[in-house]
Structure 1
């Protein structure tokens, strides 16, 4: 079966990583405009790097949970395209191959001047020079507000070709990801939402399973792998 899976912050929250929209969330002490836009980086790169260094350290300490490991098992039995809004590497460490990071990755650095990428160190600094062009424009390879998510052509094709589309732990409030379920359903796929609560786009799903991802996802995968 061709399955497209979209995961959001909720799946990593159970590994101890704070989520974007929670009242206790990651961004509580910082306005989005201060740490998650290209303008913020140009205005105060020291603050932006400090913020993402913290996120990178938190992600390095976190461990994959049962939901991450279950999705890796699903890929052994079905043709799975795993799309994530998360910037951690818990899916990869949980065993999933070929994860599509539509919002970039904490493990990668990007030169804002020349566009080249390379593996990010645990701690990045505003004075770090790009190893390719030599300019001090090194930034986290994260898709910030106002920027276009990565791999969109591949993602839309996978969603359109899927027989089953699942959204796990995502709020459904941010486009283009918020439109995936509707597009999959329009293309003939069955759609299922696995979340702690109904999302902003719950109406686009044929099936809803409410609860923690670490419980729901292994159960769901077990049913698909009978």
Structure 2
């Protein structure tokens, strides 16, 4: 309860909050993380290739099969972490910057979400550029209007983060009074580098099962994020 009270007190005392979220936030919703035992990459010798621009361009069938079978969890529902962050928007200026591509923050009702690595449910045709519903993509990788190959608008290995996403993320970090890192080892660049652009007056909390280290003063809470947010 002490950790809950610490975060509650920090939230109560500020106006602008940024949550930086990772795979650990969505695991309780039934979406596996990437590298842990039983995670998405288990059993694959070169999983990064399967999620690369090279695979999409050179072997679109291989890319499509992997993404369709392993990445989509349309029945997954937001858990207490997503819902609490959305709830806080009623009284606070909240921005969520997430590594996750599952769209669960949006499903929970959060309005200001920066999908740092894109969103699986935003799909478009590479030939004509038209937006395509994810439900159509899951039926066929080919656009029924022009025959082009459809892709989800996510950042693949070999691709860069858009300038707009970077600039919007940096702006949010500069304005935040409170930064809360949740469910991520915070090692993947450039996501982890966002901390360098923080408001240096901001208080920083991290909630993760394993301690993370950053080049800034931090209140580290080694705990199950779901259990903590259920009590907030």
Whether these two folds match at TM > 0.5 is: yes
Change (3 A) 1:205 1:106: farther
* Separation in structure 2 between the aligned mates of residue 43 and residue 211 of structure 1, nearest angstrom: 42
Equivalent residues, number: 214
**1:45 is the counterpart of 2:45:** no
In the alignment, which residue of structure 2 is the partner of 1:63? 77
| 8 Å CA contact retained: 1:33, 1:40 | no
Q: CA deviation at 1:48?
A: 1.2
Comparing 27-36 with 98-107, greater Cα deviation is found at: 27-36
**1:163 is the counterpart of 2:151:** no
Q: CA deviation at 1:12?
A: 0.2
In the alignment, which residue of structure 2 is the partner of 1:212? 224
Structure 1, unaligned runs of 5 or more: none
| 8 Å CA contact retained: 2:54, 2:158 | no
Change (3 A) 1:205 1:55: farther
Q: Provide Cα deviations, 1:153-179, integer angstroms capped at 9, x if missing partner.
A: 111110111111111111211111111
**1:95 is the counterpart of 2:109:** yes
Comparing 210-219 with 151-160, greater Cα deviation is found at: 210-219
Q: CA deviation at 1:189?
A: 1.3
* Separation in structure 2 between the aligned mates of residue 29 and residue 44 of structure 1, nearest angstrom: 20
**TM superposition score normalised by structure 2:** 0.83
In the alignment, which residue of structure 2 is the partner of 1:82? 96
Q: CA deviation at 1:38?
A: 0.6
Change (3 A) 1:143 1:116: farther
Change (3 A) 1:35 1:75: same
Change (3 A) 1:202 1:218: farther
**For residues 193-212 of structure 1, what are the structure 2 equivalents within 5 Å?**
193-199=206-212, 201-212=213-224
Structure 2, unaligned runs of 5 or more: 1-14
Comparing 175-184 with 189-198, greater Cα deviation is found at: 175-184
In the alignment, which residue of structure 2 is the partner of 1:188? 201
Q: CA deviation at 1:129?
A: 2.6
Partner secondary structure for residue 101 of structure 2: coil
Q: What RMSD over aligned residues (CA atoms) do the two structures have, in Å?
A: 2.1
Q: Provide Cα deviations, 1:16-39, integer angstroms capped at 9, x if missing partner.
A: 111012122102233234311110
Q: CA deviation at 1:130?
A: 7.3
| 8 Å CA contact retained: 1:15, 1:65 | yes
Partner secondary structure for residue 155 of structure 1: helix
* Separation in structure 2 between the aligned mates of residue 114 and residue 23 of structure 1, nearest angstrom: 40
Correspondent of 1:36 among 51, 59, 62: 51
